[in-house]
């Protein structure tokens, strides 16, 4: 997967400034995973959100326009055909890299276990229609050095 040039610049600047996605969450008043998805160009920000992000990173205002454009999301060679499974594929295409970035920031270099793992699906009542709540919990497994 190639990372867009703007993503490289935003991530490099974020790291140089010592900021976390959680820090940016407080500044933008948006969830850290959503902010990561903007940085990875899987979501678009409003002009106000883009300005806050660019200012927090100390970057030139020219970045605002690109962050407000609708991104090309999650291109991949294999697409599941079952509609429900496809939606999980779509979620990973759009939020996979942002989730990975936030997990690494919080835990370090490693993965979430799919063996020591739980998955709960809950039904939530909502005035706008029933909602599906998916809760995944996996043991963090750091990569070993040798």
Residues 85 and 55 in one domain: yes
- Do 114 and 95 sit in the same domain of this protein? no
Report the pLDDT averaged over residues 107-130: 93
123/72 same-domain check: no
- Domain match, 86 and 102 both: yes
Q: Rounded to two decimals, what is the model's pTM?
A: 0.75
Query: How, if at all, do strands 131-142 and 110-124 pair?
Result: antiparallel
C-alpha distances (whole Å) from 36 to each of 42, 58, 99 are 9, 17, 8
Q: Are residues 98 and 120 in the same domain?
A: no
5-22 pLDDT per residue, tens: 999 999 999 999 999 999
Instruction: Give the range of the structural domain holding residue 97, as residue numbers without chain letter.
Output: 1-108
> Could you tell me if 125 and 94 lie in one domain?
no
The predicted model gives 110-124 an average pLDDT of 91
Classify residue 58 by its DSSP letter. Answer: T
Q: Is 70 in the same domain as 9?
A: yes
Residue 42 has pLDDT above 70, yes or no: yes
Q: How confident is the model at residue 1 (pLDDT cuts 50, 70, 90)?
A: very low
The domain that contains 10 carries what CATH number?
Answer: 1.10.260.40
Q: What is the per-residue pLDDT across 123-145, written as a single tens digit (0 to 9) for each?
A: 999 999 999 999 999 999 999 87
Residues 31, 85: one domain?
yes
Q: Are residues 143 and 103 in the same domain?
A: no
Q: Is the pLDDT of residue 76 over 60?
A: no
Question: What pLDDT score does 145 carry?
Answer: 76
Q: How many domains in the chain?
A: 2
Calculated CA dihedral for residues 123, 32, 62, 72, nearest 10 degrees: -40
Q: Pick the closest to residue 137 from 113, 107, 104 (CA basis).
A: 113
Q: What is the CATH number of the domain that holds 143?
A: 3.30.1160.10
Token readout for 134 is: 């998916």
For residue 8, count other CB atoms closer than 10 A to its CB: 12
Q: Residues 95, 124: one domain?
A: no
Region 80-87 average pLDDT? 86
Q: How much of the chain, in percent, has pLDDT values that exceed 90?
A: 76
> Rounded mean pLDDT of the chain?
92
For the annotated catalytic residues, the residue numbers are 87, 90, 113
């Amino acid at each position: 997967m190639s990372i867009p040039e703007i993503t490289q610049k935003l991530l490099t600047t974020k790291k140089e400034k010592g900021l976390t996605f959680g820090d940016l969450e407080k500044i933008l008043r948006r969830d850290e995973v959503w902010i990561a998805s903007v940085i990875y160009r899987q979501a678009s920000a409003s002009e106000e959100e883009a300005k806050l992000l660019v200012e927090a990173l100390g970057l030139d205002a020219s970045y605002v326009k690109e962050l407000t454009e609708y991104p090309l999301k999650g291109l991949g060679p294999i697409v599941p055909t079952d509609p429900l499974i496809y939606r999980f594929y779509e979620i990973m295409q759009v939020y996979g890299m942002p989730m990975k970035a936030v997990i690494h920031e919080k835990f370090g270099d490693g993965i979430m276990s799919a063996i020591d793992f739980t998955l709960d699906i809950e039904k939530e009542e909502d005035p706008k229609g029933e909602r599906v709540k998916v809760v995944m919990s996996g043991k963090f497994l750091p990569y070993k050095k040798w």
